[in-house]
Amino acid sequence: MQSSFLGPDESADIAGSRLCAARNGYYYIHLSKPYSGASMELWYILATMKELEIFKRPVFGVELRSIDPHGIRLTEMHGSLVLSLLSRDTDSLQFYFLDIDSATALPVMLRGSKISHRINYSMIHIACQRILLVGGSSPTGVYYSSLFVLDFATGESRKMRPLTHGLDGFTLTHLGPGRVGLFGGYSKISCENMIYLVNKDQWSAVCPNDEVDELVAKRWKPCLHKLTDTLILIFGGYNGRVLNDLYVYSTSSNAYATIYPRGTSPLAPREDGAYILTKDKANLVLIGGGTKRCDVLDIETLRTSAMAILADALLKRDLTGQQLGAPQLVSSEHHTAEEKDSVGSRIVDEIKAKVAASGQTTELLDIVWPKKR
């Protein structure tokens, strides 16, 4: 298998919903001639700060030809790949185990609940050999709220608790053990980010009545990346225009903040774009989503900026809560003492200590404390 370099046109056409990380690399399903006489390739993509190296091989074992590109999903499961397809040749979604080394697809027949034709749904591996499949819409525009657990160990498909309303074009990510986050999407009823508790089969809102949460929710096909165990990056999407904003969500403090990466020009707008880690794992490369440009972001700078901005957001939230709950005005000296005991302040001090211990400057973390008026 020979390598080549990903050209601007190929890069622009990459859809994040058909790309996943596995075996220290990134795999992508490329579809040519969709709907009629379709053929597929498995792309293995490696990134540096200057170029994207790509290895291509044809996918064997898929006899279907009338394939909808919006009905393709690729999911990692224990180092292997699970491929889901929508084809007009069948009356339901089709599933395959896709061998990485040979690019050979093995059909999987699941008993139980039948999963009707749908596009713009989302899949994520949750545990053992189980995959969650959520939402989507029919090719004719009917929005689905259904949730299925696909158990490849038992060969069964089971319906679980659905969403409160039909939704498509969202992105799923892991928030912690047994917790899956749903961000973005389009619905005719409402837009809100959700958390699914796997063991309880229960949905709940991420941040009810939060203005930033609403901004993040009102976007179709955002791009997500888990920056740390507790920090989620949310980028771009579409809400009437293609977006280039970047948010961070903290699972530990249940808070959002907007990030403006230092030393970088404005990011290119993307709809259904993707993040790829460079070989040295020091940078994130934003690709695809309808633009030929690739954006490179330094991970350490992102992480430090995200923690600092979140700490500031938590401080403001904490102070607002104190002011709303205070029965009477207090002196500025007493107010300053309360500030120093706030959640935001403690987080800033902890972050500064960690950054200083690693030999880096803490200048970025210097928060200007608001004065009481």
pTM, to two decimals = 0.84
Mean pLDDT of the chain: 87
pLDDT band at 357 (very low <50, low <70, confident <90, very high): low
Classify 326 as helix, strand or coil.
coil
The predicted structure's pLDDT at residue 313: 80
- Report d(CA 64, CA 87) in Å as an integer: 7
Is the predicted pLDDT of residue 236 greater than 80, yes or no? yes
pLDDT band at 337 (very low <50, low <70, confident <90, very high): very low
Q: Which residue has the higher pLDDT, 238 or 24?
A: 238
The predicted structure's pLDDT at residue 38: 78
pLDDT band at 50 (very low <50, low <70, confident <90, very high): confident
Q: What would the pLDDT profile of 287-316 be if each residue is shown by its tens digit? A: 999 999 999 999 999 999 898 889 888 888
pLDDT band at 242 (very low <50, low <70, confident <90, very high): very high
Q: How many CB atoms lie within 10 A of CB 31?
A: 19
- Report d(CA 96, CA 319) in Å as an integer: 52
- Report d(CA 171, CA 183) in Å as an integer: 5
- Report d(CA 190, CA 315) in Å as an integer: 30
pLDDT band at 332 (very low <50, low <70, confident <90, very high): very low
The least confident of 136-150, 178-192, 349-363 is: 349-363
Which residue carries 């080394």 as its tokens? 101
Is the predicted pLDDT of residue 120 greater than 70, yes or no? yes
**Residue 106: both structure tokens together:** 């093995």
Is the predicted pLDDT of residue 237 greater than 80, yes or no? yes
The predicted structure's pLDDT at residue 35: 81
Cβ neighbours for 271, distance < 8 A, ≥ 6 positions apart: 220, 221, 236, 237, 238, 242, 243, 289, 290
Q: What would the pLDDT profile of 192-218 be if each residue is shown by its tens digit? A: 899 999 999 999 999 887 888 999 999
- Report d(CA 116, CA 179) in Å as an integer: 26
CA 8 to chain centre: 23
The predicted structure's pLDDT at residue 181: 96
Q: What would the pLDDT profile of 90-108 be if each residue is shown by its tens digit? A: 999 999 999 999 999 999 9
The predicted structure's pLDDT at residue 341: 47
pLDDT band at 188 (very low <50, low <70, confident <90, very high): confident
Is the predicted pLDDT of residue 334 greater than 80, yes or no? no
**Residue 124: both structure tokens together:** 């994520």
